[in-house]
Amino acid sequence: MGEQQHVTFPQEVIDEYAALGVDLPALFSAGHLGTRMGVQIVEASAERVVGTMPVEGNTQPYGLLHGGASAVLAETLGSVGSMLHGGASKIAVGVDLNCTHHRGVRSGLVTGVATPLHRGRSTATYEIVISDEEGRRVCSARLTCLLRDVRPGDGAQPPAAG
Catalytic residues: 75
Q: Residue 99: name the closest of 63, 61, 120, 126 by CA.
A: 126
Q: Could you please report the per-residue DSSP string of 2-45? A: ---------HHHHHHHHTTT--HHHHTS-HHHHHHHT-EEEEE-
In the sheet with 123-131, reading across from the earlier edge strand, the strands are: 40-44, 49-54, 109-119, 123-131, 137-149, 90-101
- pLDDT digits (tens), the chain, 162 positions: 344 444 566 677 777 777 766 667 666 666 788 889 999 888 888 999 999 999 999 999 999 999 999 999 999 999 999 999 999 888 899 999 999 999 999 999 999 999 999 999 999 999 999 999 999 999 999 999 999 998 776 654 443 333
Res 150: pLDDT: 82
3-state secondary structure of 74: helix
Whether the Cβ atoms of residue 128 and residue 120 lie closer than 8 Å to each other: no
Cα 11 to chain centroid, rounded:
19
Which pTM was predicted? 0.84
Cα 30 to chain centroid, rounded:
6
Res 8: pLDDT: 62
